[in-house]
Amino acid sequence: MAAKTKSKATAEYSDAPINQSLTDEDKIEMLRKMVRIRRFEQTSLKHYQGDKIGGFLHLYIGQESVAVGSISLLGDNDHVITAYRDHGHALSVGMNMNECMAELFGKATGCSKGKGGSMHYFAPDKNYWGGHGIVGGQTPLGAGLAFALKYKGLKGCCLCYLGDGAINQGAFHEALNLAALWDLPVIYIIENNGYSMGTSQARSSAHPEEGLAARAKGYNMAWNKIEGVSLYEIRAGVSEAVERAHNESKPTIIEIMTYRHKGHSVADANAEKYRTKEEIQRYIEEHDPINFWKKTLLEEGVITEDDYKKINREAGDEANAAAEFAEKSPFPDESEIFDDIYWEVDNNTEAGRTGRHFFHK
């Protein structure tokens, strides 16, 4: 399960055409994105502990390379959908920290007006379709976004993220069959962080020796397994699938090996019981995607230590400013409770005005 960080492998992937075409600015931008996600998450953790945020908070710390690397490959007709550990994907598609933080604070200025919370971010204007709280629930939707692209004759794809535990939901398997049977341009990215809550992958999934994505063989679907610590490797692997989706309208399952540094959610009291402190420490020290990319860029002479410090400082400032924005924003108005339930009612159409829609009191 360990993400091996061989420099030879890195060299190999950095030579991939998709990575050769990266400018220094692109590389720095990806570093900045990962650092911004981390600072955002750390800041949200602080405010969750300070009781500013309710419900659940599932942090993405340690997995930043997956969202940043894969989403860096997308164009105008490519779409993203994910599960409840969704802040990293949101910032990767370009949602801003203010709207994301305000959502956590339950404020009217949040991306979902305070209605969805941490698990349910949305930004259709950025091709980002949520943020889904039910494990596996997003996987048929991912196939559906791909279906819509194909139906409309658009050359695009949908990246649909799910966890290593989510692969055991029945809906996922039905979606896989549809995707393969109907040649839908969907790419399922299994973010294998080794655990579904307190259950290790070994205790939750039966699968071929080659790994979780190899279940694709049963559907005659392409698959791949990628070490997630390196952006080069992620970009090289995912870009093949994007090409397959764009050019052949075929689905792929990709398993990306990664690790969450924190507990399942901040409420996970057992985070250091079902895995050893040593294991967590080892991943933090040896397989942190931000440190890994920073080191790569230092070695390539793309950045200096000072550049990194500046990026880090700016991201921290941005996250603090977002928290301040969230704090100062108003809570939603009570009248909002009955908005955004029916399109027809919201838009005051004839259909929305005909018959009684709500039954409170």
Partner 1 sequence: MPREITYREALREGLDEELAHDENVVIIGEEVAEYNGAYKVTEGLWKKWGDKRIIDAPISEAGFIGMGIGASMLGVRPVMELMFYSFAYVAFDQMMNNAATCRYMSGGLTNCPIVVRGPANGGTNVGATHSHTPENIFANMPGLKVVSPSDPYDVKGLIKSAIRDNDPVYFMESTVLYGMSGEVPSNDELDDGELIIPLGKAKVKKEGTDITLIAHGRAVVTSLLAAEILAEKYDINAEVLDLRSIRPLDENAIMESVRKTHRAIYIEENKPFCGVGAQISSMIMEQAFDDLDAPVLRITSADAPAFYSPPIEKLQLPTAEEIVERALTIC
Ligand X SMILES: Cc1ncc(C[n+]2csc(CCOP(=O)(O)OP(=O)(O)O)c2C)c(N)n1
Stretch that binds ligand X, among 8-16, 27-35, 191-199, 344-352 (CB under 6 A): 191-199
Closest Cα partner for 106 from 267, 331, 322?
A: 331
Does residue 49 belong to the site contacting partner 1 (CB under 8 A)?
A: no
CA atoms within 13 A on the CB side of 192: 24
Closest Cα partner for 158 from 242, 222, 46, 254?
A: 242
Does residue 203 belong to the site contacting partner 1 (CB under 8 A)?
A: yes
Q: Which is nearer to Mg ion, 136 or 163 (CB)?
A: 163
Does residue 196 belong to the site contacting ligand X (CB under 6 A)?
A: yes
What is each CA distance from 201 to 75, 196, 286, in whole angstroms? 33, 7, 21
Q: Which is nearer to partner 1, 201 or 312 (CB)?
A: 201
What is each CA distance from 331 to 104, 108, 226, 297, 336, in whole angstroms? 11, 5, 42, 42, 10
Q: Which is nearer to ligand X, 288 or 318 (CB)?
A: 288
Q: Which is nearer to ligand X, 135 or 216 (CB)?
A: 135
**Residue with smallest beta-carbon separation from ligand X:** 163
Closest Cα partner for 328 from 337, 336, 320?
A: 320
Q: Which does 85 bind (CB under 5 to 8 A by kind): partner 1, Mg ion, ligand X, none?
A: ligand X
Q: Which is nearer to ligand X, 163 or 237 (CB)?
A: 163
Stretch that binds ligand X, among 21-29, 158-166, 273-281, 297-305 (CB under 6 A): 158-166
Please say whether the beta carbons of 177 and 146 come within 8 A. Answer: no
93/74 Cα distance (integer angstroms)? 9
Cα 154–chain centre separation: 23
- Interface residues toward ligand X, by CB under 6 A: 85, 133-135, 163-166, 193, 195-197, 264
Q: Which residues bind partner 1 (CB under 8 A)?
A: 54-56, 103, 106-107, 112, 114-117, 119-120, 132-137, 165-166, 168-171, 196-199, 203-205, 270, 274, 331-332, 334, 336-338, 341, 358-360
